[in-house]
Chain A
Amino acid sequence: MARPFTPKVITANDLLEGDVIYFMADDSWTRDLAQAELIEDEAEAQLRLLAAEKQNIRIVGAYLADAKAGPSGPEPVHFREDFRRKGPSNYSHGKQEAEAHV
Chain B
Amino acid sequence: MYKYNAFDAAFLAERNAQFRAQVGRRIDGSLTEDEFKPLRLMNGVYLQLHAYMLRVAIPYGTLNSAQMRALALLAEKWDKGYGHFTTRQNIQYNWPKLNDIPDMLDALGEVGLHAIQTSGNTIRNTTADHFAGAAADELTDPRPYAELIRQWSTDHPEFQFLGRKFKIGITGSPNDRAVVKAHDVGLRMVEQNGEIGFEVIVGGGLGRTPMVGKVICDFLPQADLLPYLEAVLSVYNVLGRRDNKYKARIKITVQENGIEKIRDLVEARFAERRREFDGTDQALLAEIKTHFTPPALRTGNTDAYQAAYDADPVFRAWADTNLAEHRNSAHAIVTISIKAHGATPGDASAAQMRAMADLAEELGYDELRISHQQNVILPHVHKSDLPALHARLKEQGLATANIGLISDIIACPGMDYCALATARSIPVAQEIASRFDDLKLEHDIGHLQIKISGCINACGHHHVAHIGILGLDRAGVENYQITLGGDATETAAIGKRTGPGFAYDEIVPAVERLIEAYLTLRSDAEETFLETYRRLGMEPFKTVLYPEAQKKVA
Contact = CB atoms under 8 A, between A and B. Distances in A.
Chains A and B bind each other: yes
Interface of A: 13, 15-20, 56-57, 60-61, 77-80, 83-84, 87-91, 93-95
B18 interface: no
Interface stretch (B24-32, B281-289, B385-393): B24-32
Contacts of A88: 50, 94, 416-417, 426
A90 B29 contact: no
Interface stretch (B95-103, B106-114, B143-151): B95-103
Contacts of A89: 416, 424, 426-427
A60 B47 contact: yes
Nearest to A80: B415
B358 interface: no
Contacts of A77: 476
B49 interface: yes
Contact of B97 (A18, A57, A80): A18
A56 B33 CA distance: 8
A56 B99 CA distance: 17
B477 interface: yes
17 contacts: A15-B26, A16-B99, A17-B97, A17-B98, A18-B47, A18-B48, A18-B52, A19-B50, A56-B32, A83-B415, A88-B94, A89-B424, A89-B426, A90-B344, A90-B426, A90-B430, A93-B95
B3 interface: no
B247 to A, nearest CB: 26
Contact of A84 (B49, B424, B430, B477): B49
Contacts of B26: 15
B50 A60 contact: no
Nearest to B423: A79
A60 B98 CA distance: 12
The 9 closest A-B pairs by CB, nearest first: A88-B416, A18-B51, A18-B52, A57-B29, A94-B50, A90-B426, A90-B344, A16-B98, A89-B427
Nearest to A84: B49
B41 to A, nearest CB: 13
Interface string B343-367: 0100000000000000000000000
B478 interface: yes
A20 B419 CA distance: 12
Interface residues of B, number: 30
Nearest to B31: A57
A18 B50 contact: yes
Contact of A90 (B95, B416, B476): B416
B80 interface: yes
A18 B80 CA distance: 14
B424 A93 contact: no
Contacts of B27: 15-16
A94 B415 CA distance: 14
A93 B81 CA distance: 11
B210 to A, nearest CB: 25
B278 to A, nearest CB: 46
Given A18-B96, A57-B29, 20 more contacts: A13-B47, A15-B98, A16-B97, A18-B48, A18-B52, A18-B97, A60-B33, A60-B47, A79-B473, A79-B477, A83-B416, A87-B50, A88-B50, A88-B94, A88-B416, A89-B424, A90-B430, A93-B95, A94-B50, A94-B51
Contact of B47 (A61, A80, A83, A91): A61
A87 B427 CA distance: 13
Given A13-B47, A56-B32, A89-B416, A79 B52 contact: no
Nearest to A94: B50
A77 B477 CA distance: 11
B32, B48, B94, B430 interface centre (most CB from chain A within 10 Å): B94
A18, A57, A95 interface centre (most CB from chain B within 10 Å): A18
Interface in B1-56: 26-27, 29, 32-33, 47-52
A95 to B, nearest CB: 8
A16 B47 CA distance: 11
A96 to B, nearest CB: 10
B29, B47, B416 interface centre (most CB from chain A within 10 Å): B416
Given A80-B415, A83-B49, A88-B50, A93 B80 contact: yes
B531 to A, nearest CB: 33
A90 B426 CA distance: 7
Interface in B475-522: 476-478
Contacts of A79: 415, 473, 476-478
A18 to B, nearest CB: 4
Contacts of A80: 49, 415, 473
Interface string B410-444: 00000111000000101100100000000000000
A60, A88, A95 interface centre (most CB from chain B within 10 Å): A88
A56 B34 CA distance: 10
A9 to B, nearest CB: 16
Contacts of A57: 29
A72 B476 CA distance: 23
A20 B415 contact: no
Contacts of A83: 49, 415-416
A84 B427 CA distance: 16
Contacts of B426: 88-90
Contacts of A90: 344, 416, 426-427, 430
A44 B417 CA distance: 31
Contacts of B473: 79-80
Contacts of B427: 89-90
A20, A56, A60 interface centre (most CB from chain B within 10 Å): A60
